[in-house]
Chain A
């Protein structure tokens, strides 16, 4: 049982480049979400989804795009990377409609130069 799989583990981008962080889960969770973690701050929600075809913005959505074409996958796109997007990114999933633990991916450490 793979749980939540996040790739890549590390990435270095130049300002203005684009990339996609991949997230897949095999637990049939309806809820999937992306967070960024910066020193001295709690996890901050970027975007989330409660099911295929449904996405919504979180606390810090600017500069990021998401889509949810299947239950399993929830990619996060950086359209034009900026140094302020240097962070550690986590994908997480859980069931909707009942109290359920969040299952996290192993994180992606992104550096934008």
Chain B
């Protein structure tokens, strides 16, 4: 049983394009996290949200609790955005993790 589904699995974009990564989950959550992992690198937390929308620079995360869906948007994508993006619903007792979306931004 897959509690978290991310789409797409892989994404290639030209520099400057608008990117959307989707996450659907089946568990009840207290928060949802978006994580970023660069190739061969560690994992960093980008966003933690429990409702609405958050924005950090060119990154925007939205969540619809009723529909159990979250999206991560990247505006004006740049090659340094190339990474794996992981959706992680947090039930308050446990974190679940999607398999990640691998993003490559071509100059």
Q: Which residues of B contact A35 (CB under 8 A)?
A: 97
Is the pair B45, A43 in contact by a Cβ cutoff of 8 Å? no
Supposing A99-B50, A102-B88 touch, asked if A45 and B95 sit within 8 A by C-beta, the answer is yes
- Interface of A, secondary structure class, is loop
Residue A68 lies at the interface, judged by CB distance under 8 Å to chain B: no
> Taking A101-B33, A102-B88 as contacts, is the C-beta distance between A42 and B99 under 8 angstroms?
yes
Known: A42-B86, A99-B30. A106 touches B97 (CB 8 A): no
Report yes or no: A101 in contact with B97, Cβ–Cβ below 8 A.
no
Q: A90 contacts the other chain (Cβ, under 8 Å)? A: yes
What separation, in Å, do the CA atoms of A103 and B42 have in the docked complex? 10
For the complex, what is the distance from the CA of A82 to the CA of B54, rounded to whole Å? 43
Nearest-neighbour CB distance to chain A for B101, whole angstroms, equals 12
**Chain A residues engaging chain B, CB cutoff 8 angstroms:** 33, 35, 40-45, 90, 92, 99-107
